[in-house]
Amino acid sequence: MIRQAAATAFAVALAALPAAARADLFSSVSYGVQASTIGHGITLEKPLLYDFSVRIQTGTMSASEQFNYDGNPYTSTTHYNHVAVIADYRPSAGRYRISGGLVFGSDGVDNVARLDSATLHVGSGIYPTSGTGMVSTHLRYDRPSLYAGVGTGTGIIRGLALTVDAGVLVRNGSTTASATGPLAASPAFRADLERLRAEQRTHVVVPVVSVGLVFRP
């Protein structure tokens, strides 16, 4: 009698589980493309439970801008080349998700001084550009970086969905500085190069916005 009652209770509990939960445990991998402020690439998503899934995303892009630093014009180029592993939790199995993950890759920033004048301000000194040559810094972000965000999606046609995500990427990095001119052998100039390197920001919080198209078989 007790065994029959336990079996009946188990059957009722199994039947009461959301159908989506049972289906998602064995559902196919979704795939698509996405474009974001930190690069464009592909997306692969695997549901593990009816309210939990894991995504793998790639991001590739280069973006350049001009800015002035210590009175010198610089060209700054940010390179994105990474893979993100992101876990998504959907409260009540709804369309909205809370996301967190790790970003691996070789993202970095190259800053190159433009030789538009006869002198260049490096660290605490002012030097002739004929002696400094090309002065540049390279920032490389540590791996991994931390991502946190929120997102949602909506169906367009059967099997195809539009997704939107917004979040932040917390990054730490390390910087190197170099020069190509003959002054690179000077201890005083090398000390100013070290000051320039130390002035670079290596801890940043990057806002991230992405839009994607995902096909769900």
Mean pLDDT throughout 140-155? 93
Spell out the residues 6+ positions from residue 15 whose beta carbon is closer than 8 angstroms to its own. Answer: none
- The tokens describing 4, both together, are 């029959």
- Residue 87 has, within 13 A of its CA and on its CB side, a CA count of 9
Is pLDDT of 53 > 70? yes
**Would the pTM of this model clear 0.75, i.e. be above it?**
yes
Largest Cα separation within the chain, whole Å, is 97
- Give the pLDDT of residue 186: 94
Enclosing H/E stretch for 161: strand 160-179
pLDDT tens for 108-134 read 999 999 998 899 999 999 999 999 999
Mean pLDDT throughout 74-93? 94
Is pLDDT of 83 > 70? yes
pLDDT tens for 162-177 read 999 999 999 999 999 9
Return d(Cα 121, Cα 79) in angstroms, integer.
Answer: 26
- Give the pLDDT of residue 98: 97
Mean pLDDT throughout 92-117? 92
- Give the pLDDT of residue 27: 61
Is pLDDT of 37 > 70? yes
Read off the pLDDT band of 137 (50, 70, 90). Answer: very high
Return d(Cα 24, Cα 151) in angstroms, integer.
Answer: 19
Average pLDDT score, the chain: 87
- Give the pLDDT of residue 159: 85
Would you say domain 22-215 falls under CATH 3.30.750.200? no
Return d(Cα 71, Cα 157) in angstroms, integer.
Answer: 54
- Give the pLDDT of residue 16: 41
Spell out the residues 6+ positions from residue 186 whose beta carbon is closer than 8 angstroms to its own. Answer: none
